[in-house]
Amino acid sequence: MTESPDLRTMKIPLHHGSGHIPALGFGTLIPDPAVTLTATRDALEAGFRHFDCAERYQNEREVGDALQSGLAAGGVTREDIFVTTKLWNSNHRPERVEPAFQASLERLRLNYLDLYLIHTPFAFQPGDDQDPRDQDGNVIYDRDVTLLDTWRALESLVDQGKCRAIGLSDITLDKLLPIYEAARIKPAVIQVESHPETELLEFCNQKGIVLLAFAPLGHGMKPGLIGDPVISAIAARIGKTPAQVLLAWAVQRGTALLTTPKSAARARENFDISALPDDAFDEINRIQTRQRLNDVVNTGSPGFIPRTTTV
Ligand SMILES: NC(=O)c1ccc[n+]([C@@H]2O[C@H](COP(=O)([O-])OP(=O)(O)OC[C@H]3O[C@@H](n4cnc5c(N)ncnc54)[C@H](OP(=O)(O)O)[C@@H]3O)[C@@H](O)[C@H]2O)c1
């Protein structure tokens, strides 16, 4: 019998030798700065080595402080961790990309990034307001920049050695295809909600792109994935928690994932995953519910971030 792989430390190769991404990632979409600091520290201590950030989360400084204190404590080096951040919609104009990237890097207190993503394919009015709206409350989009213009600016960051890999987030296959075709440096990672169209997953698998799944626990919404009777029954049968079952399934399915535990106990719980027996894995694959929780993929406006003016 072959031994099951250790899902906690599994890494997936990124193409063109741009390294490996740890499958189990910690997400930093945490509105409270003090909680961001403690939760990020707890995640590092629990064993997470992959950290997902974004300028839009407005907490890169706290994540940077937590990472620096973890690195300073010893035992973990910069090369041991994998850090991603994302370019926000109001910085899609090519001349805004490098300054936005540098500002993120400074807040995170790093000198390179492992992965830089275009947060959504929607360009908003360029400027410092992250949520530009007209008098009627409608988002002001920027029609004078294409996604390919922005992609070219990201390619140049890789050329300059400032980040090792680039990708996109909240994108559908129809928008991804033209970028993939035209790209000189192909997207290494696509970050989308954890139950994407199978077509997108198939495309990523064929092209060697890592699918990085967010909301693997259904963003903790209730009723939701954690209370699903199939998941609870499997958890009881194999002596794991529902969260551990869902996270293990996502890694076994070949995706990387991001989860956001906010306490030390939950960080340890979410890190302590192990391979599911085949019958349990198949049972989850047969669940037919298909529901998207976050509408960001259709509008560029983040569904999980409360709306505030951010000038
Ligand atoms: N690209 C994008 O547009 C996008 C969008 C959304 C998210 N993301 C990224 O993906 C990351 C993960 O997304 P997510 O926050 O939706 O992940 P998630 O892990 O599915 O949901 C997090 C929620 O699940 C609950 N939870 C965590 N561990 C649990 C456990 N062991 N048992 C029971 N409940 C548990 C937590 O609730 P409590 O608050 O009660 O602890 C937390 O609020 C984000 O932080 C962000 O980095 C990206």
Closest residue by Cα to residue 120 from 79, 167, 183, 163: 167
pTM, to two decimals: 0.95
Tell me the C-alpha distance between 253 and 250, whole Å: 5
Q: Find the 200 Cα to ligand 1 centroid distance in Å.
A: 22
User: Would you state the pLDDT for residue 170?
Assistant: 96
Q: Examine the residue annotation and report whether 57 is marked as an active-site residue of this protein.
A: yes
Ligand 1: which residues within 6 Å by Cβ?
A: 27-29, 52, 169-170, 191, 214-220, 226, 243, 258-262, 266, 269-270, 294, 296, 302, 304
Q: Find the 51 Cα to ligand 1 centroid distance in Å.
A: 13
The closest-lying atom of ligand 1 relative to the alpha carbon of residue 194 is 20
Residue nearest to atom 1 of ligand 1 (CA): 169
pLDDT by residue, tens only, the chain of 311 residues: 567 889 999 999 998 777 999 999 999 999 999 999 999 999 999 999 999 999 999 999 999 999 999 999 988 999 999 999 999 999 999 999 999 999 999 999 999 999 999 999 999 999 999 999 999 999 999 999 999 999 999 999 999 999 999 999 999 999 999 999 999 999 999 999 875 457 899 999 999 999 999 988 988 777 788 888 999 999 999 999 999 999 999 999 999 999 999 999 999 999 999 999 999 999 998 887 666 777 888 888 888 887 765 54
Catalytic site residue from 57, 112, 141, 180:
57
User: Would you state the pLDDT for residue 311?
Assistant: 43
- Mutate which of 40, 214, 262, 293 to test ligand 1's pocket (most atoms within 8 Å of Cβ)? 214
Q: Find the 223 Cα to ligand 1 centroid distance in Å.
A: 15
Phi and psi at residue 291, to the nearest 5°: -135, 130
The number of beta carbons lying within 10 Å of the beta carbon of residue 243 is: 21
Identify the three-state secondary structure at position 158.
helix
**The tokens of 50 are what?**
């992959």
Q: Find the 30 Cα to ligand 1 centroid distance in Å.
A: 9
Phi and psi at residue 90, to the nearest 5°: -85, 5
Residue nearest to atom 10 of ligand 1 (CA): 214
253 to 85, 227, 242, 282: CA distances (angstroms): 24, 21, 17, 10
